[in-house]
Structure formats: C-alpha cells, structure tokens
Structure 1
Amino acid sequence: MKKNVFALVSSIAVLGTALAGCGGGQPAAAPPAGGTTPAPSQPATPAAEKKPQVLKMNLHSEPPTADPGLAEDTTSGAIILATFDGLTRIGTDDKPHEAAAESYTVSDDKLTYTFKIRDAKWSNGDPVTAHDFEYAWKRALDPKTASNYAYQLYYVKNGEKANKGEAKLDEVGVKALDDKTLEVKLENPTPYFLELLAFRTYFPVNKKVIEANPKWAGEASSHVGNGPFKIESWEHKSKMVLVKNENYWDKDNVKLEKIEFSMVEDENTELSMFENGEIDWAGAPMSALPTDAISALKEQGKIQTKPIAGTYWYKFNTEKPPFNNIKVRKAFAYSIDRQALIDNILQTGQIPATGAVPPSMVLNPNGYFKDKDLENAKKLLEEGLKEVGMSKLPPITLSYNTSEAHKKIAEAIQDQWKKNLGVDVKLENKEWKVYLEDMHEGNFQIGRMGWLGDFNDPINFLELFKDKMGGNNDTRWENAKYKDLLNQSAKESDLEKRKKILADAEQILMDEMPIMPIYWYTQSWVQKPEVKGVHQTGLGDVDWKGAYIE
C-alpha cells in the first residue's frame, strides 16, 4: 500500500506516505485452505479498565482521504485500517486472519475462493454484506473512479482488463452469490492472496452511502466504516478524533474508547508535545523524530526502532531533459554517499539501498551498483550530456513534501551533487496532498517518495513501474522487456524460477534507473510506557485495534 509521507522512518509513499513488500523473494505462505486460525488475542489487561482508554497521537499531516478505494498514502491508510475491516486482517503474528469473512474455502486449482461473510454492521447500523465487497472492488477498478491502487485488484479475473476498458465490470471475477457468500475468481494462483485481502483497496464500502454523497469520505458526519473505530470529528488540518465503533463485530476485543489525533507538521513541536504530556507517542509510523534529537533519545534509552520492508527513493521525471537520458540518471544515483546520510542525518540503523527491493525480500544480495561510485558517475554524466546535446547541466529542481527530515536529506544530497558533479540544485517543498498531485501530474524533475510493502513479495515493489501511466509510477518510464518479465512471474509456479525472473526485472529497473534508491527503512519512535498493544507490522502499517492504556 503505501506511499509514505515520511519515508524517513516509515510507505507507501515517510513524511507523506509510503508503499511496501517482503519475503525473501518468495510468496508468503498462505494459511491452509478452509480457513485461518483465530487472530492472536492481546494479553489480559485487568488494569486497563482503571485508566481512561484514550490514546493521544499526532498525524503530522492531513489525511488526503478516508476512502479505501482512493487512498494511496500511509496517513490515510492508518485511518482507514482503524475504521474498516477487510475479509482478512493482519494479526499480531503478522499473518492474515478472518475478519469480515467468517470462513472461506479454496478450489483445488487455487483459482476460486468462496467467503462466508460474518454477521456484522456498518457504523451507521446497515448490515455488511457480500454485495458491499463486490461493489467496492468494481468501483476501484472502474476507470471513472481513477484509483491509483486499482492495480492491486489485477489478481482478480479480468480486473486489469476492466480497469483498462478492455472488459466490462460485470466480467470481473468477484460476485456476491447472496448476502453472505462472496465468490472470487483469480487470474492465476496467488499464494499471498489472503494477505492482499487485508489491504485497503480490497475493503468494502457502503454503496448506499456513496451514492447519496460522493464526498462521503471527507467529513466525520458522513463517513461510514465497518472497522473497530469510527470518525467522531474531523477538524481539517487541525484535529481528528476516532471513537470505538459500537457496531463492530469484534468490539469486545477493542479496549480503547477514543484516539485523539493532532496534526502538527513540525517534528520538534511534536516531540515537545510528547515530553510535555500532551501526546502519548511521537515519531513513526505517523510522523518522524527530529533528527537533531535522535542521539540524545538514544542515550536516554527512550527511542524504539524497528526495521520494516520499505525503500526511500528519489524518482526522476524521465519524460523531461536531462533525465530522459539513462546515463544522466545513473550519474546522479551513483554520485551520492548513502552511508554518510545514514551516519550523519538518519542515525537509526537504516541500510544504504543499492536496489529497489528491500532486504526482507531481497532478489540480489549484492545489490546492483556501488554506493558513492564517483569515478563512474562523472564519466556517465559527461557521456549523458553529450547524448542530450548539453555542455553543462542547467539548475535542477529537487522536490519533497514538507518535513524537517526530508529537508535535511535533500540539503545533504544537494550539497553532494554540487560537490561531486558540479550541479546547482534548487530545493522545493510542498504540503503532502499538493505534492502528491504534482508528482502524479509530472510537475517535477526529481521528487522524493518512499514505498512500504503492501504484502510480502518483491512484485509489490517492481509492479509499481510496470506501466508508464500506472497509478504510482510518476516517472513515466516503461520498458517492454521489464513488463514481459513481470507477466511471466505471475504464471511461474516454481518459486526459484520466479525469483530469477523477478531478479532479471529488477536488473533492468536498476540499469535504466527511473528511480534512485537511497536507503531501506527503519521506524523509530518514543512512547509512554503505559501505552500497550499498538501493533506495527513488518510492512510499516499500524493497527490500534488491540491497543490499550495500562
């Protein structure tokens, strides 16, 4: 899922949002056909009832949307995960478990899944039915919806064709057989399909609510979900409050009564709020810790850090000179010192990224290029400039979304490019929602982004760049051989052969460098000791369903 707003510590997208994946190059193992085991429960908390069950956090930035069919960033994704349930939900063991689906069966050929929908209600009291899932999936695939995450549904029979106008929505392989039975037909066997179902693009939406108000997901008064919490109030760019959803099917296991979010963009202010007792948590996954404070927080033993399956990278606009030239792109990528960025700015155990796919699902352990390969970078720049008919590069604009961390990274890279390549770089920062729109519209030269895994497989990183006009591509890069390899991988059942195919694809991506990998993520934060049960997955998602105040 995830574009990461912050992508410094968290997608995705982390000072905005991020997108993600993992699994050693092999698909995650699916639970046995016929149903998953119950999700691990939180430990008993008799003392939890004695304290007000209110969690106070900072979102850092305004969620662009609370619509699961349209969301593409980690901030929106966190709110959606709190207010919706998919057919499955990721448990504290990082495996998918039944949620809105009470049970399921899988055909022998692994192409047809049949789900029994449990008795549950929407936050407005309407029953949750199989029809809500069929409507939601087809709505996301409808080209008119313009969902940038529609491609996540391409695993469903005719999903891609419908999204590209080559098939009718009625031909998509999802059908409500009755109110309680959902049948799903896949294009190919997909071992990680149950994990995919826990991702927001697969969540249901209430057709009646949407048809009554197309802007339903932008205000607390009209938002309707089926998850553990509901939106009580939403003061845009200021505050959001979630409260326990009394209609949630598993409400007895939801201990928090309320989550209060502020929306403060400055990380220093956020940390001060934490130290003053105004919030219970600061830093990842919804924000970032101030880089200047990390050393002291480490010495005090307050900081917590977790590696996640995510990559922080810069994207090149490959349609505009000079970055329509491969050699120029590679020169910029090879000339930076990633380890120096980590040692001097990030400081929380990140790893220099020399490939697109993170270590947890690595395809090439040795990487595809050397960090700080200055000699090669200068040679490539000279050759690339000749090819585009330039004697010297004009000033270059590097864009990032508003964040102290992104700013410091950009300033350091700006300095490295000036020192190592003699390039003048102008920095440009924008508010997250505006920044996303400009990236999608191609209004940039080089732009910051991060991707956190949506599910545990390398395809989730590589498929971002399959189509020139893909919803999360932005680079406008496309390669026919690359696309063919990804298509081959979808049909290859031998895991080692599939891994080799995906490694060949990543080689092409790094040979042509439409993106410049910088580092692989860790998430770092501080929290009050009485805050328990907040689950952060290996993909960087956060789930407050089992959280409580001790």
Structure 2
Amino acid sequence: MNRKTLVLPAVVGLIAPVLAACGGSDSGSGGGGDIVVGTTDRFIATKDVPAPLDPAYAYDVGTWNILRQTVQTLMIQPKGEGDPVPEAAESCVFTDSGNERYECKLREGLKFSNGDPITAEDVKFSIDRARAIKADSGVFALLSTIDTVETKGDRDVIFHLKTADATFPFKLSTPVAGIVNPDDYEKNKLRDGFAVDGSGPYTLKADTKGDEMVKAVFTKNPDYKGTLKVNNDSVDMVSFTDADAMGAALEKGDIDVMSRTMSPEQIKKLSDNSGDVDMVELDGLEIRYLGFNTDAPTVKSKAVRQAIAQLVNRSELVSQVYGTQAEPLFSLVPASVTGHSNSFFNKYGDPSTTKAKSLLEKAGVTTPVKLTLNYTTDHYGPATKQEFQILQKQLNDSGLFDVTIKGTPWDTYVPAERKGEYAVYGMGWFPDFPDADNFLAPFLDKDNFLKSPYVNSRIINTLIPESRREADRLAAAGTLTDIQDTVAQDVPVLPLWQGKQYVAARDDITGTAYALNSASTLQLWELGRGVSG
C-alpha cells in the first residue's frame, strides 16, 4: 500500500522542549492497545526548573502539550477555524461594550479526576495563584490584563479587566488559566515534579528515570465533561534522544505516531517514499528568531543589531537547511496572521554588506565586531546547528563580524538566557493563540518572557493596549504595523523564518489531520485506531 501525503490548510488556532530517549515501547502498532506517540521533547526537573508541569510555570510547547490533555480551561480553541469556544464553561461573554468585564458560567457537574466537584472558587484560586506566583517563565503575563476575579455562587466567574482586551477569551484557553484543585496545588508555591491533576480529557501517569520523565501515560478520564470527543482509551507519549531514534522506532512499529521534532531529511524521505506510514503536512505558525540582550556591550549599539538585520540572508538560510518546509519571515507576526507586515524587508530590503558597513561606520563601531551566537542543541531539532553555521558564515563573510557559535542543552540554555548570560541567542515561538498580539506582546510588553531589557514605553503603554481594544482584528492592523515597524527599527529581536508542521503515523491510525492545530497544540484525543486503507 502506498503511503499517503496529506497537505492541509492552516486551522486557526505555542516556545518549544524535549522527553529523553528511552527507545521503544512495549505497546506499539503491532496489536492494538495504547496508541504510542514518539517525541524528542524532554521534561527534566532541575534546580532552576523544579516544577516543569505546573500550569503556573509551564511555558513551552512541550509542557503545554502535556497540560492540554489533562488540565481543563474555561475556553478552548476549536477543531477548525474560529474564535475560542466554551470548554469547562457552559458560556462566556463580554458583558460590557468596552471589553473590560468578562463573565463565564461553569458547566453543571464538573469534577476533578479524583471526583471532587469543581466550583467557581476553584477557577478563581487557579488564576489568582498563577498571577501571584509570577513564575520566572513569564507565563503569568498572559493574565496581566486581569484586575480582579469575582465569583457568584458555585458556577459564575466574573473577570474585571484593567483595560480592554479583545484577546482575553484566547488567553482563557491557555494552560496558565487551567483549573487546578486547591487540595493538590499550594496557593503560593509551585508543585515540584511531574504530577498533574485536573479535569481534562485524560489523567496522567508519569514514568520517570531520575529527574526526567521518559514516558507520559494518558488514560481517558471517565469524569471529563467538555466539548471534546475522545477517540481512544489511552495514549503513551515516549521520549527519544534524537529524531533518528524516533524514526527508527516508527519504522519498526514500536511507536504509532511522531511529530516533534523530525529532521528535514526525515520529512523529505517520508514524503517521497511509499510504505505503511502516512505523512500529514500542515501550515503552521512556528517562528524562529534571534534575540538580543540589548544591555550586552557587544550588541548594545542599535547599529550592530541593524547591521546583522541588514546582512542575514533568510532565503539562503531556508533553502539550504529547510527547503520547502519553511519560509523566510520579515516580521515577528507570521504571514498568514491578520496584522502581518513585512517590516524588516521594508526597512532593510535585500542583504547588503555595503549598507551594513555604512550603518556601523556612522555609529563609530569598530569592526570586525566579535560575537557569539548561542543556540540550543536538543530542543528545536537536529537542523539547528546547521542553521547557526550558515548564520555564522553570512556574518563573517561580510568582514564586519567575527562570529563564533555555541550550542547548549535546553535545560541549561533557558535559565542562562533568562539571566542575561547571552548577548545573542536563537529561540523559537509557537503561539499561545493565533492572534498577532501573541507574536508581539510576549516579546515587547513588560514582564516579557525573554526577560529582555529592551523597553519601548510607546509600545507598552499605547500601542499594545490600543490594539487590544479592537474586537475586529482587521481594525487593529494599523497599530500592529506600527509595532512591527518599531521592532524593525530597534531590532531587539530578528525574525528568521516560519515553518510548516508535520505528523507521521502508521496507516492504521486515524485522526492525524487534526492531531495538531496551527498553534502546534497536540490534540491526542483526535487519534484512533482504524482499518488500514
């Protein structure tokens, strides 16, 4: 039977980690049973990150993909395109014309997976807890427009906002707004380790080895009440050290599905060859970028950052590393999202050594500028090193820079970046929700998740609030463009490319077309076992 390649349009809907490689699993595609999903995501509890799965801390695509299966939110992004819809809530609506008062009514009979009833007070506890803890991941900033949370009876929750926020329903669909049991989560302290308790479609059992979760076992929650139809009884998510080991397990039948993170070579091979594996290609909203510590001496001068922006050849980078699996990106906002503007192309045009040299000379910068470009070795896939080698060559070939590159494992990379140890560093972003605001505010607002020292008071105090007042996101396009143009001028971050996303599955697995949405949310409930076709 020939393997089918499905190319699907984006479905309108998050940063990204890796589970460590324990190789195969006893339950694979050979005889029914659990559906087994492979990943290169890792979940490690460290001194710097002791509570990787606490909703008040977790802020990357891997940990969120655990939480979305287990912790229920008031709202949820729908299966297809559209605005978020009620999930734990029966209904949610703005009750004023200014988008500053948002009221939700809980479904009747909601229970945590241990059988405890869920009340409005539990919702208030969960959201107030995340806001109060203010974890250094920065995830609490998603709730920054909340002023107070009020409850009425057991089922009504009212959010009073500090300022209008048309994106607030999307924010209530993210795991930081997940409902947790006060009996399991302390009010002012993160919950260390890998235990997760909620009211989502699955319960979680974590198989650990030392300080690392090597397999996540999801079992259908019989007490779940929400909008989702769960098409399986259990799913095992198994970690692999690299994409090659994960691919070998799929080929052997030890796993049924793999997605994050395949290598470009694997994707091409699976797309070209016949066999019993189906490849699903979807448009995605993942972006990659360089971040700058604008207080670091080597890049404190805006001219240095502008010169890098003038030299980077995105088309060459994409074609040599990712081929058709990615596209050059000239803004933090992907091209398919309302409000996108090609601000960096408008500002810098085609790569030019002459223009870059002029920028540095006018600012009195001595060349070559010595820099280290930092990247993570085990988080965004095996092509990351090659990507940074090309960036290094592009900058060094200009004669204006003397660049070295350095790779670091994710579990030490992120804490180091947040402490300001890197002048220039590579990161990825998977949106929390598919709105232009979520590609701008997390990088530029106060309490931004990068802990960036870059501050633009006009963006923070005027432009971001202005854009959020517009319920019609097309009407916010002018303000959003203004923000993007300012980023291109100041270059606190440098967008590089946006990528597609892929799911590979053995051909008796159904539901793969919806296994990921455009925000890279893993939707395990969509997977089932069917007849090989």
Match of 1:430 among 394, 408, 412: 408
Match in the other structure for 2:398: 420
Q: 2:280 aligns to what?
A: 304
CA distance in 2, matches of 1:516, 1:393: 18
Residues 57, 190 of structure 2: 8 Å contact kept? no
Q: Using the TM superposition, name which of 498-507 and 415-424 deviates more.
A: 415-424
Contact 1:53 1:549 in 2 (8 A): no
Could you tell me which residue of structure 2 aligns to residue 37 of structure 1?
A: none
- My pick for the range that moved more, 127-136 or 302-311, is 302-311
Inter-partner Cα distance in structure 1 for 2:165 and 2:420: 33
Please say if residues 111 and 199 of structure 2, whose CA atoms lie closer than 8 Å, have aligned partners that are also in contact. Answer: yes
Specify the alignment match of 1:121 in structure 2: 111
Q: Counterpart of 2:224 in structure 1: which amino acid?
A: Y
* Letter paired with 1:256: N
For 1:375, which of 354, 363, 366 is the aligned residue?
A: 354
C-alpha distance in structure 2 between counterparts of 1:102 and 1:425, whole Å: 55
Q: Please, which of 48, 66, 76 is the counterpart of residue 79 of structure 1?
A: 66
Match of 2:26 in 1: none
Could you tell me how far 1:444 is from its partner in structure 2? 0.8
Residue of structure 2 equivalent to 1:30: none
Q: 2:95 aligns with which of 97, 102, 107?
A: 107
The residue number in structure 2 matching 1:38 is none
The separation in 2 between residues aligned to 1:362 and 1:381, in whole angstroms, is: 35
- Correspondence for 2:492 among 514, 538, 541: 514
Among 253, 269, 272, which residue is 2:245 paired with? 269
* TM superposition shift of 1:446: 1.2
Partner of 1:178: 153
The answer as to whether partners of 1:241 and 1:261 remain within 8 angstroms in 2 is yes
State how 1:237-256 maps to structure 2 within 5 Å.
237-250=213-226, 253-256=229-232
Secondary structure at the residue paired with 2:370? Answer: coil
Deviation at residue 252 of structure 1 after TM alignment: 9.1
SS in 2 for 1:238: strand
Query: What secondary structure sits across from 2:246 in the alignment?
Result: helix
* Ranges of 4+ aligned residues in structure 1 off by more than 6 Å: none
8 A Cα contact 1:465 1:477, kept in partner: no
State the SS of the aligned residue for 2:111: coil
Q: Specify whether residues 269 and 381 from structure 1 end up closer, same or farther in structure 2 by C-alpha distance, changes over 3 A only.
A: farther
Q: Matched residue of 2:440: which SS?
A: helix
Task: Compute the displacement of 1:503 (Å).
Answer: 0.8
User: C-alpha displacement at 1:192, in angstroms?
Assistant: 3.6
* Residue equivalent to 2:38: 57
Structure 1: how far apart are the matches of 2:342 and 2:454? 25
Q: Give the structure 2 partner of residue 481 of structure 1.
A: 458
- Displacement of 1:391 in angstroms is 4.3
User: Is the CA contact (8 Å cut-off) linking 1:105 and 1:113 kept in structure 2?
Assistant: yes
Corresponding residue for residue 57 of structure 2: 70
Q: 1:520 to 1:421 in 2, by over 3 A?
A: farther
Shift of 1:344: 1.8
How high is the TM-score relative to the length of structure 2?
Answer: 0.83
User: Structure 1 residue aligned with 2:197, among 209, 224, 230?
Assistant: 224
Counterpart contact for 2:291–2:494, Cα < 8 Å: yes
Distance 1:543 1:74 in 2: 12
What one-letter code is carried by the residue in structure 2 that aligns with 1:93? G
Q: Corresponding residue for 1:31?
A: none
| CA distance in 1 between partners of 2:187 and 2:101 (Å) | 33
Deviation at residue 229 of structure 1 after TM alignment = 0.9
Q: What are the superposed Cα offsets for residues 222-244 of structure 1, whole Å, 9 maximum, x if unpaired? A: x3111111112331242222222
Cα distance in 1 for residues equivalent to 2:354 and 2:315 = 18
Give the 3 Å change call, closer, same or farther, for CA 105–339 of structure 1 in structure 2: closer
Bigger mean CA offset, 143-152 vs 80-89: 143-152
What is the CA-CA distance between 1:365 and the residue it aligns to?
4.4
Change (3 A) 1:280 1:377: farther
CA distance in 2, matches of 1:525, 1:253: 20
Q: CA deviation at 1:477?
A: 0.9
CA positional deviation for 1:190: 3.5
User: Bigger CA drift: 533-542 or 66-75?
Assistant: 533-542
Find the counterpart in structure 2 of residue 98 from structure 1.
Answer: 86
Tell me, yes or no, if the aligned pair for 1:394 and 1:424 is still in contact at 8 Å.
Answer: yes
Q: Compare 209-218 and 423-432 and name the one that shifted more.
A: 209-218
The partner residue of 1:209 within 184, 188, 200 is: 184
Task: Supply the AA of the counterpart residue of 1:360.
Answer: S
Select the residue among 359, 381, 385 that pairs with 2:335. 359
Aligned in 2, Cα 1:253/1:463: closer, same or farther, shift over 3 Å? closer
Q: Secondary structure at the match of 1:354?
A: coil
Q: For residue 476 of structure 1, what is the amino acid of its counterpart? A: P
Query: Structure 2: how far apart are the matches of 1:300 and 1:190?
Result: 48
Code of the aligned partner of 1:282: M
Deviation at 1:265, TM superposition (A): 2.8
Listed one character per residue, the Cα deviations across residues 6-56 of structure 1 (whole Å, up to 9, x for unaligned) are xxxxx9425669xxxxxxxxxxxxxxxxxxxxxxxxxxxxxx9x9434233
Q: Does the 8 Å contact 2:371/2:402 carry over to 1?
A: yes
Is 1:195 the counterpart of 2:170? The answer is: yes
| Match runs of 1:396-407 below 5 Å | 396-402=372-378, 403-407=381-385
Tell me the secondary structure at the aligned position of residue 176 of structure 1: strand
**In structure 1, what is the Cα distance between the partners aligned to 2:496 and 2:430?**
14
Indicate if the aligned counterparts of 1:306 and 1:522 stay in contact, CA closer than 8 A.
Answer: yes
Q: CA deviation at 1:127?
A: 1.3
Q: How far apart are the structure 1 equivalents of 2:443 and 2:41?
A: 28
Is 1:234 matched with 2:213? no
Displacement, 1:143?
Answer: 5.1
Distance change >3 Å, CA 12–CA 437, structure 1 → 2:
farther
Partner in structure 2 of residue 322 of structure 1:
298
CA contact (8 A) 2:17 2:60 kept: no
Aligned residues: percent identity? Answer: 23
Equivalent residues, number = 485
Aligned pair in 2 of structure 1 residues 116, 478: CA closer, same or farther (>3 Å)? same
Q: Distance in 2 between matches of 1:184 and 1:82?
A: 25
8 Å contact from structure 1 (residues 288, 405) kept in 2 = no
Aligned partners of 1:69 and 1:139 also within 8 Å: yes
Deviation readout 1:493-544 (Å, 9 max, x if unpaired):
6755532122111111111111111001211232222222243212221211
Deviation at 1:379, TM superposition (A): 2.5
C-alpha distance after superposition, 1:166-196 (max 9, x if no partner) = xxxxxx2x11212222122233444343332
5+ unaligned residues in a row in structure 1: which ranges? Answer: 1-10, 18-47, 159-171
CA positional deviation for 1:145? 4.6
Match of 1:288 among 261, 264, 267: 261
Distance 1:462 1:251 in 2: 30
- Tell me the residue number matched to 1:538: 518
Measured against aligned partners, the alpha-carbon deviations of 1:107-141 in whole angstroms (never above 9, x if no partner) come to 24243333221212112221121111111111111
